[in-house]
Amino acid sequence: MELWRLSAAQTANLIRLKQVSATEVAEAALARLDAVNPALNAVVDHNPEDVRAQASAVDAQIARGAALGPLAGVPVTIKINIDQKGYATSNGLRGKADLIATENNPVVDGFLRAGAVLLGRTNTPAFSARYFTDNLLHGATKNPRDPALTPGGSSGGAAAATAAGIGCIGHGNDIGGSVRYPAYACGIHGLRPGLGRVPTYNATGPDRSIGFQLMSVQGPLARTVHDVRLGFQAMAGRDIRDPWCFEAPPCPQPPRLAAFCAHPEGIETAPEVEAALRDAARRLQDAGWTVIELDGLPPLKEASLIMHKLWIADAPERILAAAEAEGDPGALFAMRGAMDWVGPVSITEFGDTLTRRAALVRAWAELFERYPVLLMPVSSELPFPVDADLRNGFRWLTERQYFMAGPPAIGMPALTVSTGMVGTAPVGVQILAGRGREEFCFAAGEAIEARGTPPSPIDPRA
């Protein structure tokens, strides 16, 4: 039995039953990392002795008969843009390569409380600002399914590692698609929780601007939807360091009613993308759900514009100066492109944008009152070739990522479920639900997943 192939749930169960030790699992995970990471560059910082010490502590708990967390001994990776004590919170920046955290982000604490073994730190684009994972500090991460395709961004390292069997669960974060798109590109699953469900705080930096506070969330990636749920449960919880954090009341049973929309606002999609969406709808119907096709949705293109305004427009000079100081071509492309698309934003317009956001949130919340689950594409196209953004331009990219950039502006949960392959490119579907209804996403996702997903974990393709 190759332990690195197992899911988080399987791994935790074997450890709990004493059929394997946490140390054996850790050694298998380290060996897998050594075997495939050189081809991927997904994990860019790790300490094997630290991993072994964590696993030994779990085994000591078992020997004492102590209560175990739900992820006891499960290998998990952490993205390099959140604080993990003793490691650099570089965010892919040369200027922060030596910014060593002295305390943990709440996400890290959550995984540790659950008993997880933190295996290594995963790569991100500079400033975590692209759908492609590359930076001047650590270099590019490869997609294990096809190195000619992006692994996604900004959690491309987490997605590539998880798809290749480096850890069972990968931590990521999402302000414009940075969990959902890498999951799609690498053929696994990833959750963008709703605003406030997972606490976050980095002591290594200042408090985030209002756009980041409203839209950036921490979320898990995994090879099974059940493991995504386990990751979310470990990460979620009360932490007073995050003023947006709240504990949602118990979620009711999903009503098994869903809707889907293939072309909201006339958005064009690749034939393979629409086929995957309709396939996911049929899978839900086969599982006993009522599924209704809608002609339209509340504003999605406008939500995407609001997302970019809130991301970039509250401190454009500071953002651009930081990007120019780093000199990363991809980051400069993304930030200049967003600024050009949004245009100059006065303080009045910025306030009006926040006000308009409230109306959009209301419209989407009303939709989820009628249809508790919504299916829509992850992206308008199959996963992009490497650096397609630099070749084709920011507007080209933006017009293909409305399904990614729109949902963060409304703050609802969204789950990417990978459903198959078109050649070497994964396809999948995005599942949305109302605030505090992550469980609705999981229920629909498991029904869709049960009818087939891309094989994983996989060996990196040359």
The amino acid at residue 77 is: T
Residue whose structure tokens are 């709440």? 106
CA angle 298, 303, 309 (to 5 degrees): 165
CB 379 within 8 A of CB 403: yes
Query: CB-hemisphere CA count at 13 Å for 144?
Result: 32
Q: Which residues make beta-bridge pairs with 373?
A: 258, 433
Give, to the nearest 10 degrees, the angle between helix 22-40 and helix 48-64.
160
CB 402 within 8 A of CB 266: no
SS3 116: coil
Separation CA 206–CA 91 (nearest Å): 14
Torsion angles phi and psi, residue 374, rounded to 5: -125, 130
The amino acid at residue 312 is: I
Q: Which two tokens stand for residue 106?
A: 């709440």
Separation CA 158–CA 128 (nearest Å): 12
Q: Is 335 left (phi over 0), alpha (psi -120 to 50) or beta?
A: alpha
Separation CA 368–CA 412 (nearest Å): 10
Separation CA 315–CA 127 (nearest Å): 15
Which residues belong to the active site? 79, 154, 178
The amino acid at residue 84 is: Q
Strands of 373-376's sheet, edge to edge?
43-45, 117-122, 75-79, 169-174, 217-222, 189-192, 414-422, 425-433, 373-376, 257-260, 290-293
Neighbours of 452 (CB within 10 A): 12
Q: Which two tokens stand for residue 215?
A: 């839209």
Separation CA 32–CA 36 (nearest Å): 6
CB 5 within 8 A of CB 222: no
Separation CA 190–CA 299 (nearest Å): 24
SS3 158: helix
Separation CA 86–CA 449 (nearest Å): 38
